[in-house]
A and B are shown apart, each in its own frame.
Chain A
Amino acid sequence: MHIPDGFINIPTAAGFGAAAAGGVWYSIRRAARFLDDRRVPLAGLVAAFVFAAQMVNFPVAAGTTGHFLGGVLAAVLVGPWLGSLALTVVLVVQGVFFADGGLTALGLNIFNMAIVGTLGGYLLYRGIIALLPKKRPATVAAAGVAAGLAVPLAALSFVLQYAVGGAGGASVGTVATAMGGVHLLIGIGEGLITALVVGAVLASRPDLVAEAPKVKVMAHG
């Protein structure tokens, strides 16, 4: 769902770009409070993995594909602030080196995927996990469901941008229906991949997962 240049007019792109910059700066401030030596390479790896996974488009309907977003995965693995920054790096690299996503549209894309898709998706995760027992399968399920919902959420964020400054003539209602529908389908793939990866990391190194259920340590003696 990388927006190319031209879909959204420049003033709108600038406005959402400013909002995205604010979100990125806030994420930096929050991440700086707790970032330790261990999490630096870990968060770098999460960004690299999200870049890799975003390359693999999978078919969702006749003639339509979707690809992994990774915001909720990153937030669950390294926390929301490093997660949104990881997504921001991926989007900048894609836009600057791979001509994927426009340059004036970079702020729009960061807003949709790194802010709404990651921080918004993380809020969904927190809402879901609050209703579930603090156990490993619940963490995996909550991450999967939140990731699945974060995709249509990010798509609706695009619809908002289209409503404010879209260059196209199609009505906002039709675009909203079409974007929501196809991204609900893409969200199924997103949820499955997220659950798979979160489950695998929780099984091997739960101590590295920011959102791992806290195990009560039994006192000895």
Chain B
Amino acid sequence: MDRRLWWFLGIGLVVALIVAGVLSGFAADDPDGLERVAIDEGFDETAEDHPLADSPLADYAVEGVEDERLSTGLAGVVGVAITLVVAGGLFYGIRLYGKARRGKEAS
């Protein structure tokens, strides 16, 4: 693969890490559009607790890290890494699947 593509991917990853690791700490805290509508229209109470609400990364905070911005930023960096690995794995798998299918059609 050409080196310029790796440069592009590297810069893109750095941008994603800055957004998830730094910018996320400055995000607005208020309810989002759906949450706002649920509160205003009185169906927010139908929400159930998330079954994984106690997981170490729940609500974009790393368990045990007190500083809020740091905690969010760390969770963001971990999230970018997880997404990259899961998505990369899925797409690599699809690539193999497509290759195998094309091979079968060709033979």
Contacts and interface: CB of A to CB of B under 8 A. Distances in A.
Interface residues of A, number: 74
Given A1-B32, A47-B83, A102-B50, A85 B60 contact: no
Interface residues of B, number: 62
A169 B38 CA distance: 11
B20 A51 contact: yes
B51 A168 contact: no
Contacts of B34: 1-3, 155, 158, 179
A39 to B, nearest CB: 7
A90 B26 CA distance: 21
A168 B42 contact: yes
A60 B4 CA distance: 38
Given A55-B76, A56-B23, A65-B31, 20 more contacts: A1-B32, A5-B51, A31-B91, A32-B95, A33-B98, A40-B95, A47-B84, A49-B19, A51-B20, A55-B72, A57-B29, A66-B32, A66-B33, A94-B79, A103-B51, A169-B42, A175-B41, A179-B33, A179-B37, A205-B8
Interface of B: 1, 4-5, 8-9, 12-13, 15-17, 19-20, 23-24, 26-34, 36-38, 40-43, 46-53, 55, 57-60, 72, 75-76, 79-80, 82-84, 86-88, 90-92, 94-95, 97-98, 101
5 contacts: A1-B32, A40-B88, A47-B84, A48-B80, A66-B32
